[in-house]
């Protein structure tokens, strides 16, 4: 039976890939976005399709819709964007989730919250299982996002306990792939854009901090499985392969311009030194694990950035 889906943040990087999958399987999709970090270009190919509806709306304001599934992805997720207006970021996490849960309660929809590995903060436990409660600075420059997502998770489980709302909570680890914004401040896009422009690659600290990079197609597959599972979560979704930031920089540099140098800058405040998911729960409950390795994913991501950046550079020359 065809379902009707609401995807908040549906014109964003991850949201637009989710919209693609839902549309490709023949369901109805309402894409809701205020275009703070989303781009209409990401979902333009669906505009005019009878199963697709696009609404410009900010989730901090209530909205009345009839849907079966709510995929709540709306929130700036990169440090550059969520620190641009930290009060707005906190409001989006709290009020946005509150409004979407209220909608889910009214219409009997199931809601999946796109939470984040940032709820673990700068972890004292490595790698991070779902049972770890985190080490988060509640008053730092990243707190608007870290604590915002923590309260969003709280709201989900309180609505579940008090009102019986069906919730699914996904804790997303670093995700990359086509449609990333060139100015989002994420490490993968930073390195690719710098390399394509012939600039030195910026490493913070010595580049020894670690991250685990999940390709967007793998993440979306995890979303789809989690939404239809019986497990509420929270559930880690990410690639457990761990790389230092320097290793990532070398992989990008070697693919684009091996002669580029590295520039060292001080570590940002509260920047986590280690980040790696334990995904045993996703493996056992969803039969899910990432299939696309970093090398393969980087090739596709670099190709996408080249299509968007290189033509504009040629036009200027």
Grade residue 315 by pLDDT with cuts at 50, 70 and 90.
Answer: very low
pLDDT digits (tens, 9 = 90+) for 138-171: 999 999 999 999 999 999 999 999 999 999 999 9
How does residue 285 score in pLDDT terms, banded at 50, 70 and 90? very high
pLDDT digits (tens, 9 = 90+) for 113-131: 999 999 999 899 999 999 9
pLDDT on residue 273: 84
Structure tokens at 184: 């989002």
Q: Which whole number is the average pLDDT over 33-40?
A: 95
Indicate whether 258 pLDDT > 70: yes
Place of tokens 């020359």: 317
Q: What is the pLDDT of residue 317?
A: 38
Mean pLDDT calculated for residue range 283-301: 97
Q: Residue 316 — pLDDT band, cuts 50, 70, 90?
A: very low
The DSSP annotation for 47-115 comes to TT-TTEEEEE--TTS------SEEEE--S--SHHHHTTSHHHHHHIIIIIHHHHHHHHHHHT-EEEEEE
DSSP letter (8 states) at residue 121: B
For residue 145, indicate whether it is catalytic: yes
State the pLDDT confidence band at 45, using cuts at 50, 70 and 90.
Answer: very high
Q: Where are the domains of the chain?
A: 4-316
The confidence band for 310, taking pLDDT boundaries of 50, 70 and 90, is: confident
Catalytic pick among 82, 98, 120, 145: 145
What are 7-20's pLDDT values in tens digits? 999 999 999 999 99
Residue 184: per-residue pLDDT: 86
Select 4-316's CATH number: 3.30.365.10, 1.20.1050.10, 3.40.50.720, 3.30.70.360: 3.40.50.720
Q: Supply the pLDDT for residue 1.
A: 79
Q: Percent of the chain beyond pLDDT 70?
A: 97
Tell me how far apart the alpha carbons of residues 225 and 193 are, in angstroms, rounded to a whole number.
33
pTM for the complete prediction?
A: 0.94
188-227: b or e for each residue (b if 16 or more CB lie within 10 Å)? bbbbbbbbbeeeebbbeeebebbbbbbbbbbbbbbbbbbb
Mean of pLDDT values over 130-141:
94
Average pLDDT over residues 179-186: 90
Structural element, H or E, at residue 167? strand 167-172
pLDDT at 313 over 50: no
pLDDT tens-digit readout, 52-82: 999 999 999 999 999 999 999 999 888 888 8
pLDDT bucket at 312, cuts 50 / 70 / 90: low
Task: Return the C-alpha torsion angle 201, 207, 213, 216, nearest 10.
Answer: -30
Predicted confidence band of residue 311 (pLDDT cuts 50, 70, 90): low
Mean pLDDT of the chain, nearest integer: 94
């Amino acid at each position: 039976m065809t379902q009707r889906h609401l995807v908040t943040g549906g014109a964003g990087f991850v949201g637009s890939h989710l919209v693609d999958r839902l549309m490709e399987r023949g369901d109805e999709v309402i894409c809701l976005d205020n275009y703070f970090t989303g781009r209409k270009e990401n979902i333009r190919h669906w505009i005019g399709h009878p199963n697709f509806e696009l609404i410009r709306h900010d989730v901090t304001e209530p909205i009345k819709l009839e849907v079966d599934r709510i995929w709540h992805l709306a929130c700036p997720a990169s440090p550059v964007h969520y620190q641009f207006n930290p009060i707005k970021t906190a409001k989006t996490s709290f009020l946005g989730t509150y409004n979407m849960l209220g909608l889910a309660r009214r219409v009997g929809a199931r809601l999946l919250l796109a939470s984040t590995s940032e709820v673990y903060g700068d972890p004292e436990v490595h790698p991070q299982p779902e049972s770890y409660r985190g080490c988060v600075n509640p008053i730092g420059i990243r707190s608007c996002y870290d604590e915002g997502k923590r309260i969003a998770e709280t709201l989900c489980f309180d609505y579940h306990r008090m009102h019986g709302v069906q919730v699914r909570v996904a804790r997303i680890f670093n995700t990359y792939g086509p449609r990333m914004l060139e100015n989002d401040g994420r490490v993968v896009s930073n390195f690719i854009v710098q390399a394509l422009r012939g600039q030195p690659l910026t490493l913070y600290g010595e580049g020894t901090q670690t991250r685990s990079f999940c390709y967007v197609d793998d993440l979306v597959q995890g979303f789809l499985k989690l939404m239809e599972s019986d497990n509420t979560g929270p559930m880690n979704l990410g690639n457990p392969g761990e790389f230092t930031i320097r290793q990532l920089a070398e992989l990008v540099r070697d693919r684009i311009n091996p002669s580029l140098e590295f520039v060292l800058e001080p570590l940002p405040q509260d920047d986590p030194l280690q980040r790696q998911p334990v995904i045993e729960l996703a493996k056992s409950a969803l039969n899910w694990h990432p299939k696309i390795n970093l090398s393969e994913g980087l090739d596709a991501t670099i190709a996408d950035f080249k299509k968007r950046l290189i033509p504009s550079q040629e036009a200027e020359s």
